[in-house]
Amino acid sequence: MTSNHPLLQLRDVRVHFPITKGLLLRRVTGEVRAVDGVDLNVLRGQSVGLVGESGSGKTTLGRAVVGLARPTSGTIVFDGEDVWSLGRDEQKRLRRRVQMVFQDPYASLDPRMTVGKSIAEPLEIHRLGSRADRARKVAELLEIVGLHPSHADRYPHELSGGQRQRVGVARALSPDPDLIVADEPVSALDVSIQAQIVNLLQELQRELGLTSILIAHDLAVVRHVSDAIAVMYLGRIVEWSLAADLYREPLHPYTVALLSAVPIPDPVVEATRERIVLPGDVPSPAAPPPGCPFHTRCWLRDKLGNPAACSSDVPALRSIRPGHLVACHFADEIRA
């Protein structure tokens, strides 16, 4: 297998949902542009963080990657194959290689299935291994995620939230996927338990060499897990960079504001920090503003005296520094 080409390639992916009116004649009266033109490459072994607020399209993009939401246009190429142009059988074969960890560990496990059965289910669906092989695999996976093999006979209600999320991770790992998409895997958990799962994800990454996409709204969590980060706003990627660069020197005005809004657990830092409080709400993805999607709340545009380009032209994602892409007409001005 060559590792020159990215494991996952998204080209101008759009996912639009129709808004309909009427019961019988379902007229389409508009559309929600959940994902609106995303280009993204994920390299083998890379861990990409997808961050953004509600309505940024991060979850829909993740669902499109694992095959749960069909893109309206654009292509998703996984390991050289265009995912949505394949036949059923080939698609199923590909799906084994892309697995998902869901947000709510209470809702994503079948309450009537033992933990062992839940973890083995992907293996059964894809007809992998004999019954004995599967049992062995389940025991092995439980240990990898920090549970005991005897947990295989338990039901989800007997486990705590943290333990359930470990089962969720084990189930995603069971068919030996190449790519894992984790959608807010720790946001339903308490702080002390969150740290356990964040560490588990970090370890798995290192030891199994997994490729992963972590979808999260918590920028601090993403910083601990991901090597590269895509910041989304209203269905688009507005900034893409290595994690270290993004946190040290964000170049999109939205990212700058987002980072400054996150409270830091240190009263000394909090007392002296400069904060940019953005006005208003995120516009509706059903009626995104013309031009730059962020221009209605942008502090930099304000500072520059409202240049016309912001409200008329959609800025392209362009390279400002090697490996650091920003979709802003005035990204060079941000440090001024």
**Residues engaged in binding another protein (CB under 8 A):** 53-54, 160, 162-163, 190-196, 198-199, 202, 217-221, 223-224, 243, 247, 257-270, 275, 277-279, 281-282
Tokens representing 208?
């199994």
Identity of the residue, 221 or 310, whose beta carbon is nearer to another protein in the bound complex: 221
Tokens representing 165?
């999320």
- The nearest distance, CB 161 to another protein, in angstroms, is 8
- The nearest distance, CB 154 to another protein, in angstroms, is 14
Identity of the residue, 122 or 285, whose beta carbon is nearer to another protein in the bound complex: 285
| 327 alpha carbon, distance to own chain's centre | 19
Query: How are beta strands 98-101 and 81-82 bridged, if at all?
Result: unpaired
For residue 73, count other CB atoms closer than 10 A to its CB: 11
- The nearest distance, CB 203 to another protein, in angstroms, is 9
Identity of the residue, 120 or 259, whose beta carbon is nearer to another protein in the bound complex: 259
DSSP code per residue over 101-153: E-S-TTTSS-TTS-HHHHHHHHHHHTT-S-HHHHHHHHHHHHHHTT--GGGGG
Identity of the residue, 174 or 205, whose beta carbon is nearer to another protein in the bound complex: 205
Element at 253 (helix H, strand E)? helix 253-261
Identity of the residue, 6 or 49, whose beta carbon is nearer to another protein in the bound complex: 49
**Cβ 208 vs Cβ 126: under 8 Å:** no
- The nearest distance, CB 195 to another protein, in angstroms, is 3
- The nearest distance, CB 190 to another protein, in angstroms, is 4
DSSP code per residue over 160-178: -HHHHHHHHHHHHHTT--S
What DSSP character marks residue 327? -
